[in-house]
Amino acid sequence: MPSFVYSQLFVRPSYPEGSLDGQTILITGANVGLGFEAARHVVRLGASRVLLGVRNVPAGEEAKKEIEASTKRPSVCEVWEVDLASYDSVLAFGDRISQLPRLDAAILNAALATETFQLAENYERTITVNVISTLLMGLLILPKLKATKKEVPSSHPHLTFTVSEVHAWVQFDEWKEKNTLQVISDPAKAKMGERYPLSKLLEVLVVQELAGRVRGSEVIINMVNPGLCHSQLGREAGWGLWLLKQGLARSTEVGSRTLVAGILSGLESHGAYMSDGVVQNTMLSEFVRSADGAKAREKVWSDVTTVLEGVRPKILQNI
């Protein structure tokens, strides 16, 4: 907690600089908050094609207009619909991505924070959106990122996941259960007050495992912690988060810099945890770095990919 407070109050991530000229960039959750501001940066840095992955298409169209007007770069953004609470929607989105001429980077930023229990695709909705469908999308677009590297050898494709320092604020004894996903999706056992931190811990674990199975020379896979920011992420969360934001939250634009840092980073960030826009693996929780954390990572990966193999058979061959 002391390091979190210090970072929030005294560390200001660097303003994104560099060139994305000619690149095609995907950002999910791009109609509001961090994703929206990250998209604005990406357009400002010269990307030729920016895909705004959104659930709310009219809001996405408004975001497109504002981004292009503020950067004075018309006809760069495209609004693509995707609902991470629906496997069919994610599959259709991934199949559409596969038809692109190229894909240079993706920031998988869309997420849900809620204390209301609800099922989506037979699992608690937060877990479906933040973990299962997010990994599904990553696996679906991975072949296009790899293909871009082959076709443009000078390129450095990136797959960046937005995570959070709150992954360290939760206990995760459920990893020892036979079917972890079923246990945490049981309404009688789900601890919804800490559901968002748990989802981000699971995401950290699966991203680590994915990065360990992919060569960074093909695709750089990393995860970024933007810190606590003013955004619409917590619109379904309780008053506790709202109060915390009043004293500690970064502006949405400042937080978005960390997302863009993920796709501008070098090979040193492959498999790494980035915080404040730089690699800081020591900021991962003690649990993640422990022997039990390694066992939990293997268990969660097995559970999640078993679900995904049912959704899209042989999807692991995309790795």
Residue type, 91: L
User: Which residue in this structure is represented by tokens 């049981």?
Assistant: 186
Which of 87, 123, 196, 273 is an active site residue? 196
Residue 260 CA neighbour count, 13 Å, CB half: 30
Which of 64, 144, 200, 299 is an active site residue? 200
Closest CA to 132 of 118, 142, 122: 122
200 in active site: yes
Helices (H), ranges, the chain: 2-10, 33-44, 57-71, 87-97, 125-127, 133-151, 180-184, 195-213, 239-248, 252-264, 291-311
DSSP output for 123-169: EEHHHIIIIIHHHHHHHHHHHHHHHHHHHSTT---EEEEE--GGGGG
Closest CA to 263 of 166, 145, 153: 145
Kindly list the distances between the CA atom of residue 58 and the CA atoms of 32, 37, 94, 137, in Å, as whole numbers in the listed order.
12, 17, 21, 22
Radius of gyration, alpha carbons of the chain: 18
List Cβ neighbours of 208 (8 Å cut-off, separation of 6 or more). 271, 288, 297
Tokens of residue 36, six digits:
């929206």
6 in active site: no
Question: Is residue 275 within 8 Å of residue 165, measured between CB atoms?
Answer: yes
Tokens of residue 55, six digits:
């659930």
Catalytic positions: 196, 200
